[in-house]
């Protein structure tokens, strides 16, 4: 696969090839009574390991940007509230914990990588919308938890996109405020 993708990465059919691989793996997963999302996720992992992930990312990004809003619309409308939420308090705690953990991991990871305080903050706020694996886990969950996890994914996606868009401004403001107070 590496040789094929390396040879034809610049050809016009490569975006269709990548989509076809994802759909084939989704179909195989569905035939095995697994989640279609799990199959597509595994196809993405496989394609990212070909050594041309940067080039493949450039090819797939326009398709992702076009299809991602439709996916979240579909995912959001597939939530049926009639099955109930396990615990609204647990949902709120999970959302706060997930966002705080992503910010902490992004910040400390950025600092360990050698980023400045401000750049590490920006990386931390930009990391919050990353949760593609949550969708895979939600698809594998039993029916009673799907509503709970579906709401979690949609809420964290909206908060994450907001934080991602505001990351430069928020990092600048927080860095300046902490510097003025003498904390950094």
pLDDT in tens, 90-137: 889 989 999 999 999 999 999 998 999 999 999 899 888 776 666 666
| Per-residue model confidence (pLDDT) at position 107 | 93
Q: Name the band, by pLDDT with cuts 50, 70 and 90, for residue 61.
A: confident
Q: Are residues 56 and 118 in the same domain?
A: no
Which of 52, 78, 104 corresponds to the end of one domain? Answer: 78
Cα–Cα distance for residue pair 121/115, rounded to 1 Å:
9
Q: Are residues 46 and 74 in the same domain?
A: yes
Q: Are residues 73 and 124 in the same domain?
A: no
Q: Are residues 62 and 132 in the same domain?
A: no
Domain count, the chain: 2
Q: Please say if the pLDDT value at position 146 is more than 80.
A: no
Which of 78, 104, 139 corresponds to the end of one domain? Answer: 78
Q: Are residues 101 and 68 in the same domain?
A: no
Q: Are residues 87 and 74 in the same domain?
A: no
- Which domain range does residue 107 map to? 82-184
Q: Please say if the pLDDT value at position 26 is more than 70.
A: yes
Alpha helices in 34-116 (DSSP H): 36-48, 53-77, 88-113
| Per-residue model confidence (pLDDT) at position 133 | 63
Give residue 156's Cα distance to chain centre: 10
| Per-residue model confidence (pLDDT) at position 112 | 93
Which of 78, 94, 115 corresponds to the end of one domain? Answer: 78
The percent of residues above 90 in pLDDT, for the chain, comes to: 17
Q: Are residues 87 and 169 in the same domain?
A: yes
| Mean pLDDT of the 80-85 span | 60
**Three-state DSSP class for 175?**
helix
Q: Are residues 111 and 156 in the same domain?
A: yes
Q: Name the band, by pLDDT with cuts 50, 70 and 90, for residue 139.
A: low
CB count in 10 Å sphere of residue 174: 17
Cα–Cα distance for residue pair 36/27, rounded to 1 Å:
7
| Per-residue model confidence (pLDDT) at position 57 | 73
Cα–Cα distance for residue pair 81/121, rounded to 1 Å:
36
Q: Are residues 124 and 158 in the same domain?
A: yes
Cα–Cα distance for residue pair 123/171, rounded to 1 Å:
9
Is residue 25 within 8 Å of 43, Cβ to Cβ? yes
pLDDT, averaged across the chain: 80
Say which residue, 184 or 50, is predicted with more confidence: 184
| Mean pLDDT of the 136-142 span | 68
Q: Which of 80, 103, 84 is nearest to 163 (CA)?
A: 103
Dihedral sign, Cα of residue 51, residue 8, residue 42, residue 105: positive
Dihedral sign, Cα of residue 58, residue 60, residue 62, residue 65: negative
Q: Are residues 140 and 95 in the same domain?
A: yes
CB count in 10 Å sphere of residue 122: 24
Q: Name the band, by pLDDT with cuts 50, 70 and 90, for residue 17.
A: confident
Q: Roughly what angle, to the nearest 10 degrees, separates helices 143-180 and 117-127?
A: 160
Q: Are residues 111 and 42 in the same domain?
A: no
Q: Are residues 125 and 170 in the same domain?
A: yes
| Lowest-pLDDT range of 39-43, 63-67, 108-112, 136-140 | 136-140
| Per-residue model confidence (pLDDT) at position 103 | 92
């Amino acid at each position: 696969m590496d040789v094929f993708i390396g040879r034809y990465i610049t050809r016009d059919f490569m975006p269709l090839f990548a989509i076809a691989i994802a759909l084939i793996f989704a179909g195989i997963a569905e035939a095995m009574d697994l989640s279609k999302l799990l199959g597509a996720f595994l196809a993405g992992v496989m394609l990212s390991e070909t050594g041309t992930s940067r080039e493949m990312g450039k090819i797939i990004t326009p398709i992702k940007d076009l299809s991602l809003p439709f996916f979240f619309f579909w995912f959001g409308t597939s939530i049926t509230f009639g099955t109930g939420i396990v615990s609204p308090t647990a949902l709120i705690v999970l959302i706060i914990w997930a966002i705080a953990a992503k910010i902490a991991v992004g910040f400390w990871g950025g600092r360990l990588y050698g980023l400045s305080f401000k750049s590490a903050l920006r990386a931390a706020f930009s990391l919050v919308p990353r949760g593609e694996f949550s969708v895979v886990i939600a698809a594998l969950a039993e029916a009673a938890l799907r509503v709970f996890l579906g709401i979690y994914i949609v809420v964290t996606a909206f908060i994450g996109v907001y934080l991602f868009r505001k990351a430069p401004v928020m990092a600048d403001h927080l860095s300046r405020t902490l510097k003025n107070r003498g904390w950094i």
